[in-house]
Each structure stands twice: as C-alpha cells, then as structure tokens.
Structure 1
C-alpha cells in the first residue's frame, strides 16, 4: 500500500507503543530531507527517522546505519537546541491525514518550559518537517523553506504562523465510523466501490480502498467485516509482498493481496527497512552523487574520444610508408608537377611501374610537395611511440572511471563521500578550500560467513586500498572478480572453509560490475602477495599466483550475511 492516512494511523499506533514517554538523547540529519531522533525509552535506544523526502516521506523506527555529515546542517543545530534532552510527551495524527505531530516540553532561553511541536507532513513533493511553538503556532524552523511565489495557500518560512494544508472535508473512518458503507453496498456497482470509499472517507489510497472493497465483497455481514478490517490498523501484522516480477509492496496487515510470496515482520519499522533499504538508499546515493556522476561521465566521454583520435593517428602512422613513397616519386620526377595541379599520376618504381595517383597542394611545386610528404612521414614515425604510450594511459583512465561507475552502482551514502574525496585528491574535482576539516574514510562493510568468519568488503578505492594493503594480515585471503571492476574482499582467516570461500566469492561478484551475471570468475590469494605499482591510482594492485572460483552473485546472501 502507499503511505496513506490509514498506514499513518498504524505508524502512530506503533510509535506510541514504543517511544512515547521516552527522552530525545540525540538529533542527527544524515541526509538533506531527513532527521533521525534517538529516543531513549525503557532502557533501549530507538532511532526515529522523520523523512520529508519527496518520494519516500515517512516516519519509522529504523535500524539501517547512517553516516552523519562532518559539519552539522543549520536545521539540525536548531533542533538540538530545542529537542535534545526533552521528553516526548505524545504522538498524534491529524485526523486521518498524512500528518503527525510529536509533542515535547522544552526549555527556552530563559529556562521556562514551553510546549514544542515537531510536525511531519508526508505529502509527496510537498512533504516538510516543522518545528512549531505550540502556544502561538509560530514556525520556529522547517527543513524546507518555500518561497511565497511557490505556495500562495500558506506561508512556509520561519516566523510565520503554522496553518494546516487545505482540508478535504472527508469523514475520518476511525471517529465517524463506516456506517455509510451500507448505502454504498445497496446503491453503488461493485466496480465503483473503491472510488466511493476514497471520495467519502479520509486517508484511503487507491490500494487500501480496493482492499476494503475486496474484503467486504467476500464477507457475509459486510458492514461488520468492514469494521473488523479497519480495526487491523490498531492490531498490526506488518506484511511485505513480493510480486511475480520481483516488485515489493507492503501493508499494516495481510489483506489478501495477490503476490508470489509474502513475509510478516514484528514491527512496521523492520518491514519499512526491508522495503526501503534498496529504494531509498539508491535515491540518497543519486542525490549525493549527482556531481560525481557528471564528472565521471564527462571524463569517460573525453577519454573515449581521445582514444579514437589516438587510434586514428596510429592507423595513419602504420600507413606512413605510403607517404615516403609519394615523396620519393615527387622528388624523382619534380618536372611532372606544375603549380596549380591538384594531383599527378607517376609510374611507381616500387610497384612494377604501376601508375600512382598522388594528391598535391596546388600552391606548391613538385619539390615542395615532396618535402611536405616527407615532413608528414617523419612526424608520424616519431609519433608512434608517443601515441602507444598515450593509448596505454588513456586505457588506464577509462578502466579507472569504469571502476568508479561500478562503485557508484553499489555505493551506500557513506561511500559517496569517499569517492568524492578520492576524485578531489586526484584532481578531477576542485577542492573546497573553506572546509579545513580532515576528511575521514568510512569503514568497509562487514559480513559474517555461515561458520562465523569475518569478511570485509571495500566499497570504493580508498576503502579497498586501506583494507587490502594496510589492515589485512598478509595471510588473510583476498578476493576480486577477474578482469572486471569490483570491490576488494578480505576473509580474515588464512585457511577459510570452502563454505566461507564460496560466500566471500559471491560477495565479490555481487559488489562488482558483474552483479547481474552468472558464473563469474573470482580470483583469490593471500593478501601478502598484493603489490601496488608506484604512481598508480588508489585501489590498484597487481598480483600473481592466484586461484579462481566461479560463482553466481546472490543478493539474498548479501542481506543474510551482513553485520548490522
């Protein structure tokens, strides 16, 4: 189901059970449109994600790890001032809409207690997160400032009065009840039931309206069954559905949706983590890596064009002897050429005196045309060694940026900054002179094999280099896909079991450009045999004496083995 008013009701129900009465100990803003509040309640920390993302707005307890920026954004600094240490008094949904209010009692600059409201509006591209002073409804700050010319219905800037979005004037099914469905059942054709439900009751998305219509159509006492169906949003059984084409959908309970398979979760938070871990993470990476992608594409385009020109020059150089022959013939028979001629046919004594058509510069005589051919011949012959060297360098650049592309394909948000740091150090991106903080490289992803062996996977060149050449024991086993861009993988064991070796090889295949392939060759050998050539790019190593395994990447194995 989409995140509609009904699902928001379920979220509020779960959050009230888990964190109401808890104390906000930390406030983070790991991504531009998302806040994480760490709420301590009943001896446990609950990371509460409040997302105003235009596509993935939601509220949930999340266990997906996140990396905070080195410099805290202004919005999170403002929230910390009001929220850190405050007690979460209550959580309420506005009617049955996609709006949640989080109430806290905080102290102002004078030390007086004031009621503060954190309001999350989950409205697609209009999603926003507000910090509001409850006494006068004044907006203290919000995560997205919206100019007046973009929203004339209400003011969305600090200092303005908070006003709810325009009301739809529909019935709240949890307070008004569903008695009106009896008339619908009598007067409305079955195929029109979902539309009637959406036009009458607040908070119904298309899928939930269809699910209710489907449920009451199959029941005996239809109105009683409708009430029972609605009550499920207070008695949760979070369910994730997988369709035949592999796409995912979810609901607060199993509402008999057609699917190839389904999985029940203990909480809405764990279910949403499973649903969003691919979608939201990919979107976050795309947002953060926009500049990097453009840089990499431009560099690939530039080097590919350069390679074509170099190959053309090399092809011309291979035909340089023809230029010498033409020069020899022109210098032997200069009298056959007069200024103004565009070509001349001369008997080629190198080829059984067959006539050879020689293009000419009409401004020059025979000897000057001959000199021009000799100059081109000498230039091309001299260029061969230089061109071959440039082709090798250009091929290395193309391989390097193809490797970056592969890393961006599997990157998590914390990996993007490492790639940005690397491209800056290599001179492809201009350094930010204002940022004087020394950047730190994120840690490789950690996995535990079926027999308990630690496996680490580098997700970018800086991680790869540090993991393989500095952190790994020389007896640890190093793995990498054969002749394809991909991650460095280290098994922290000198004599791993066959099971661990195969699982690590599958990880290496998955975190590579061959992740969609079958029967991928993966090389492995002790890490002590790796060598880094002087002056080579980050993460580049050479080796010999490797062995090779053939495996098929397995996405389910990645989630199964990953250490959270």
Structure 2
C-alpha cells in the first residue's frame, strides 16, 4: 500500500487550506480504532475531514460521511467536547520536511488558536494529539509511556514535543546540479535507493515516478548514468521542488539565507538557482523545461501520484483520490482477512460435522440389526429343548425359510436367560435408532446450510467493490446469529442496510437479481419477489436465489429463462460443471419452513431447466 509522503501531504494541505479554512467544527465521529472524522461547515459547503493514524494508511483528506451508528470511542468524545463549535482557522506543517500538521482551532476566524490538533503522518508511529494553547497534551489517539519509548513519551498533561527529526540532507532549490549529482552518486548503487538515502522528504513511490519520468530505470546503477541522464533527472528534481514551493507553500525549500549560493559547491554563482553546466554555460535551475509546476493528482498503475509523471487517469481532486484509494485498499485488506477467517471456520465446522454424521450413521447401521436379535430370541424360546448346558453357539431352523440360523450364546447362562439378553439388546437398539435418527437429520441439515454459506464464500472470493466486503460482513453477522461464530467483545459496527444483489439484464431487457448471501436470498425471495416474477435455484445444490423480474402481462422467452438458469448454475456450488439442473417456479410456491436457517427454502410446482454455468461466465 502506498503511504502518504511529504509531497502528498503538502498537496492535500494546499487543497484543504483553499477550500476548508476557515470552517466551523460541528461534531467529531470516530469510525474505528484508527480514524476520526470532523464535520466541517463553511459558508459554501459541508463535509467530513477524515484524519487517520492507521499504521499503513495514515492520511488526512475530505472523506465519506460516517455511518449512522453510535460512537463509543473515548478519544472522539474528548475531541467532540473540546473542538465542538470551534473554527478550524489554520493548517501548517510544524517544520520544513516534517510530516506533522498543526490544525489550529479558534473560537472564530481571526482570533488566536485555543486548541492545536497535531496530525503525525509517520507510518506505524502515526498519531493524533490534541494540545491546549500552552502546549499541554489534552488527549491523544495513542498514548506512549516512558516504558514503551525512551525517546519520546506522549501522556496527558505533558508538554507536547515534536517527533525526533530524521537525519539526512534537506532538498534545496539553490543546490547546483553538480553538488546534487555528487551527493547522489557518492556511493554507487541503484538510483532509486541512492536518492532516498541521500535526501529527506522522498518516498519510494515519488522517486520511482521521478526516475521513470526521466526515462530511466529505478534499479539502474548510478555508475551507468550518462551526462544527459543526470540532466534529465535533475530537471525532474527541480520540477518537484518548484511545485512544492509554488503550490505547496513550502517555506525553507530554498534553505537558510546563509546557505543560498552554497559557496562551498563548485560551479555555484551565488545567484538563486544559477549554476554552470559541464560546458561552462549558465543555467537557471529555477525554471525547468516544463511549465507543469502544479500538483496534479491522478491514478497510476501502482497507486496514485500528485506530480502527473506516470499518471494513467487524472483525478478530479486529491481529496477524492486519497479517500477512494485508501478506502479501497483497506477494504481489500479487510476483505482478504475476513474471507480467510470465514473459510477456515467453515472448513473446521464442516469437518467436525462430517465426523459427527459418520458416527451417527454407524450407530444407525448397528440399530438396523434390532429385528435380527428379536428373531433370534424368538427362535431360542421356541426351541428350548435343543439347548444344552455349556453351548456357545446353537443352530436353529428359521420360521419361514427353514434355513439354519446360527445364534451365539453365553455359556454361563441358560436358554431363557440368553433369549432375555437378546430381547433386551433388541429394545436397546430400537431406542438408539429413535434417538440417533433425528440427530443425524439435524447434522445433515447443518451441513447443507454451511455448504450453502461456503458456496457464497467461493462466489465472493475477489474484492472489486465495497459491496463485496459488505457481503462478507453480512455472512459473518449471520454466522454469529446462528451461534457458529463467537460475538466479538467489541460490537461490530456494521450497517443495517442489506447489500445490493448482483444485477443483470436478459436478452429481452428483463432484470435478473441474484443473491450474494443467505440474507439477500431471503430478502429477494420473501420481500422483493412479486406475483409475476419467476424464481430460480439449482436443484439440491447450494447456491444463490435468482429472481427474473417481470411486469404484469409480460411473458419471457426461452432465451430469458435459459440465461436465468445459467446464472443460477454459475452462482452455485456446481459452477464448475458443464450442466446443472435448475428448478424454477413462481415465488408464491416458495416457502420457508418454520425454524429454518437463513437462505433455506422449499418449493413446489417447479419445472426443471438445465443451466450452463460456463455460458453465464461469458455473459
């Protein structure tokens, strides 16, 4: 996942200062353990400022409105109490090239700040800290004690201290190409790595796009670069610094006054940005060959950019870009984690249930011998005179076939006692059959239900949209409700809205609705389905409920029915087969048995059509 680097942070601040300062803070909401949202209101608009200290996705941008669910976090409650009603009047970096923002809050625009919200975008060390005007910490997203860190503690009531500055040379516009080149090539190595090691404020994503913009390979050794290569790369370097100065409002990009001219650097003439090239000609570093000196947010093949170097698709603004990128990346991570968790849980449950079913089947098989033991007891009672003391086995003629039947005996018992033992065994096995059969049926129903859930997990194995994550969250909630998963200690903050089903259109324009999980299946079949619709499902195979939506008086053609059957087969456990039997009927003939689990239904007056899952996959 691409992290917010210094350049991206400056670009985000540039947009936020332009559109959202000053703004009134109406409320604060905490989405999760790493993210808060400040509701801001300006004279022109309202929006939610997302601030995250996530170890991989720390960021600040205008984002989506939070869900309408209770906020139970202490940190947001403290921020809401202190910042509610105050105006956001300023947003500045605390020092050049530091990824720490100071959000300043006052009672009204033009007045001195009363509260400072420091947003530290520093990877796994990211944090959000609220201080008073006298620099004392009021609250923090993540408090750090002296035992956790000997370098910097963050505790309520302590003075706020900025994070320790990173070592490394600061990029400067007045640095000559010769000095810059000497610094980067001092130790031979891959170009991308040497740039990052030589200067602060650079990220792998920024350097990679900068190097590629100069038509160079990031892994190319600095020893292999020609004079022309260095010049092209230096122009991109200068363009980056000019953008930070012009669009990002960077103070200090030129360095201190005493550093201007860099008298110790060969070839520097002392004038801002003027150096001599290898031919002795004076060049002006302040003016790159391109006029493209503004932040230009957009998508790249590997993430996003604000410099337009390797952009494949421009973005409307950086706020939407950052919100979409990190929301998508975090959703994808959560999707993969949740999918793995549910798959593992279902596999373990099905394995245990299969073992239980096997045990019950064995006991039922044994109980089928009950009548045989009763018949042996009857024979023994009828032929008592054939018994002799000490016999271990006796052969007696069958009542109907007259064929000999061998009966094992207990030599310590007489004939009547042996017969009584056989009668008791007969009664015991009969009771076992009556007790075990419903248990086996219940286990088989559980297996059928969990196989249905497993089929939905197999269908939803790739993340492509937020609905995919919501589908898994609904499956998790369902398994918790059915007591297959333990409820988490902290309540899951899921939406009450049901995710949208898959939607397609048939050759004649009819809508097809396909359930993504059991919750949707029930919703489609028993809430949405109308009298004129047609309901489809694979025959005795776990899968989705499919609804062909029809208007009164419309009659679907065979192509419409076939496509619905194809999709029913495709979204089922039989998706790898060439043909799958699919039943279809009117929704009024589909019933949910009393006490049935989610997604379970029975039907009547059905017809059968063969679905072709491979055809649906091509549609």
TM-score, normalised on structure 2?
Answer: 0.66
Structure 1 position 251 matched with structure 2 position 305? yes
Distance 2:556 2:101 in 1: 51
What does residue 138 of structure 1 align with?
A: 136
Contact 2:471/2:516, CA 8 A, preserved across alignment: yes
What does residue 561 of structure 1 align with?
A: none
Secondary structure of the corresponding residue to residue 153 of structure 1? coil
Distance 1:289 1:465 in 2: 22
Contact 1:28/1:68, CA 8 A, preserved across alignment: no
What does residue 537 of structure 1 align with?
A: 597
Structure 1 position 389 matched with structure 2 position 389? no
Q: How many residues align?
A: 532
Contact 1:505/1:522, CA 8 A, preserved across alignment: yes
Contact 1:300/1:398, CA 8 A, preserved across alignment: yes
What does residue 469 of structure 1 align with?
A: 526
CA 1:392–1:447 in structure 2 vs 1: closer, same or farther (change >3 Å)?
closer
Distance 1:517 1:62 in 2: 44
Contact 1:25/1:85, CA 8 A, preserved across alignment: yes
What does residue 164 of structure 2 align with?
A: 166
What does residue 194 of structure 1 align with?
A: 192
Point out where structure 1 has 5 or more consecutive residues left out of the alignment: 243-247, 339-343, 558-564
TM-score, normalised on structure 1?
Answer: 0.71
Distance 1:377 1:479 in 2: 47
Q: CA deviation at 1:168?
A: 1.2
Q: CA deviation at 1:551?
A: 5.7
Q: CA deviation at 1:394?
A: 1.5
Which of 224, 240, 252 is the equivalent residue of 2:299? 240
Structure 1 position 226 matched with structure 2 position 237? yes
Contact 1:441/1:463, CA 8 A, preserved across alignment: no
Q: CA deviation at 1:188?
A: 4.2
Contact 1:106/1:116, CA 8 A, preserved across alignment: no
Secondary structure of the corresponding residue to residue 173 of structure 1? coil
Structure 1 position 441 matched with structure 2 position 496? yes
What does residue 19 of structure 1 align with?
A: 20
Contact 1:414/1:442, CA 8 A, preserved across alignment: no
CA 1:383–1:531 in structure 2 vs 1: closer, same or farther (change >3 Å)?
same
Distance 1:510 1:101 in 2: 54
Contact 1:36/1:50, CA 8 A, preserved across alignment: yes
Bigger mean CA offset, 363-372 vs 398-407? 363-372
Distance 1:271 1:553 in 2: 37
Secondary structure of the corresponding residue to residue 432 of structure 2? helix
Distance 2:570 2:17 in 1: 39
Structure 1 position 129 matched with structure 2 position 128? yes
Rg larger for: 2
CA 1:394–1:9 in structure 2 vs 1: closer, same or farther (change >3 Å)?
same
Secondary structure of the corresponding residue to residue 35 of structure 1? strand
Secondary structure of the corresponding residue to residue 602 of structure 2? coil
Distance 2:120 2:31 in 1: 19
Q: Structure 2 matches for 1:19-38, cutoff 5 A?
A: 19-38=20-39
Which of 358, 369, 384 is the equivalent residue of 1:308? 358
* Residues 344-390 of structure 1: per-residue CA shift (max 9 Å, x gap): 677697899999897x9999899767765654454334434543432
Distance 2:616 2:43 in 1: 38
Q: CA deviation at 1:194?
A: 2.4
Distance 1:518 1:254 in 2: 48
Q: Structure 2 matches for 1:43-58, cutoff 5 A?
A: 43-58=44-59
Distance 1:336 1:229 in 2: 108
What does residue 284 of structure 2 align with?
A: none
CA 1:169–1:541 in structure 2 vs 1: closer, same or farther (change >3 Å)?
same
Secondary structure of the corresponding residue to residue 445 of structure 1? coil
Contact 2:171/2:199, CA 8 A, preserved across alignment: yes
What does residue 560 of structure 1 align with?
A: none
Q: CA deviation at 1:317?
A: 3.5
CA 1:182–1:418 in structure 2 vs 1: closer, same or farther (change >3 Å)?
closer
Structure 1 position 120 matched with structure 2 position 119? yes
How large is the RMSD of aligned CA atoms in angstroms? Answer: 5.3
Contact 1:522/1:551, CA 8 A, preserved across alignment: no
Bigger mean CA offset, 397-406 vs 219-228? 397-406
CA 1:34–1:349 in structure 2 vs 1: closer, same or farther (change >3 Å)?
farther
Distance 1:393 1:93 in 2: 64
Point out where structure 2 has 5 or more consecutive residues left out of the alignment: 217-228, 248-293, 461-466
CA 1:182–1:433 in structure 2 vs 1: closer, same or farther (change >3 Å)?
closer
CA 1:481–1:167 in structure 2 vs 1: closer, same or farther (change >3 Å)?
farther
What does residue 7 of structure 1 align with?
A: 8
CA 1:497–1:375 in structure 2 vs 1: closer, same or farther (change >3 Å)?
same
Q: Structure 2 matches for 1:301-380, cutoff 5 A?
A: 302-318=352-368, 375-380=424-429
Bigger mean CA offset, 327-336 vs 394-403? 327-336
Secondary structure of the corresponding residue to residue 190 of structure 2? helix
Contact 2:11/2:295, CA 8 A, preserved across alignment: yes
Distance 1:482 1:422 in 2: 24
CA 1:222–1:278 in structure 2 vs 1: closer, same or farther (change >3 Å)?
closer
Secondary structure of the corresponding residue to residue 104 of structure 1? strand
Q: CA deviation at 1:294?
A: 8.9
Distance 1:228 1:408 in 2: 49
Bigger mean CA offset, 479-488 vs 152-161? 479-488
Distance 1:88 1:536 in 2: 55
Distance 2:156 2:555 in 1: 59
CA 1:35–1:288 in structure 2 vs 1: closer, same or farther (change >3 Å)?
farther
